[in-house]
Amino acid sequence: MRQIFLDTETTGLNAEAGDRIVEIGCIELDHRRPTGRRLHHYVNPQRTSHPDAVRVHGITDAFLADKPLFATIAEELRAFVAGAEVIIHNAAFDLAFLEAEFARAGLGRFVAETAGITDSLLMAREMFPGKGNSLDALCRRLEVDNSGRELHGALLDAGLLAEVYLRMTRGQDSLVIDAAEPSAGVRHHAGADLSAYALPVLHATAAELAEHAAMLADIDQSSGGKAVWRAASAPEAMA
């Protein structure tokens, strides 16, 4: 599955009041692996940015004066996201601006060009209820290096979001292995004698077991006691 991680910077907070996009950054992953394809543009919003917005992203009106209009880069963006799942942190905010810009460019709806929108903020709130779930907070919690993020930047934030998303969704999509459909790249040698090979068994240390137990307890607490392994190990479940 092709996924696009997208972020924008804007002149202010209110797309309905006429605030505009000043920067857009996108990074592509295919089957959870970076493809190296990215899209990044600064955009002339044809209006001044709010001072609070400039303090966040550092993009001045003077810097944007000679940059292309959104309508100039809209077709490239549409082609880049076409048919892909688009992941955005706090998607409602960015989508309000993207839909407004697409409408101005006469391109219909942005969402209609995609295979769907995933809001990573909503995902994080389900996984970590009651905790801070900003991109910075998730980077700290999931040990994603964001030391270079002194100011917000669309391409930088899209890259951080991709790393955060992969860590939030690590694990297999399915634990079922269909024997009738061998994995690509795996060779099967009928009749091979493997008796001469001794596979080492590495046992966890006491410290590793304690760390694992602490992690499970933290997950159990974050889920409000809904961890399935707790239910499975309960006395009534063992009867």
pTM over 0.95: no
CB 216 within 8 A of CB 227: yes
CATH number for 2-168: choose from 1.10.645.10, 1.10.760.10, 3.30.420.10, 3.30.70.260. 3.30.420.10
Interval 156-194: pLDDT, tens:
999 999 999 999 998 544 333 344 444 444 444 445 565
User: Where in the sequence numbering do the catalytic residues fall?
Assistant: 152
Interval 40-54: pLDDT, tens:
999 999 999 999 999
> pLDDT grade, residue 221 (50/70/90)?
confident
* Arithmetic mean of pLDDT over the chain: 86
Provide the pLDDT for residue 195.
62
Nearest to 39 by CA among 23, 53, 54: 23
CB 131 within 8 A of CB 218: no
Provide the pLDDT for residue 200.
74
Spans of all domains in the chain: 2-168, 206-238
Q: How many helices (H) and strands (E) does the chain have?
A: 10, 5
Provide the pLDDT for residue 32.
94
Nearest to 157 by CA among 21, 37, 165: 165
CB 141 within 8 A of CB 128: yes
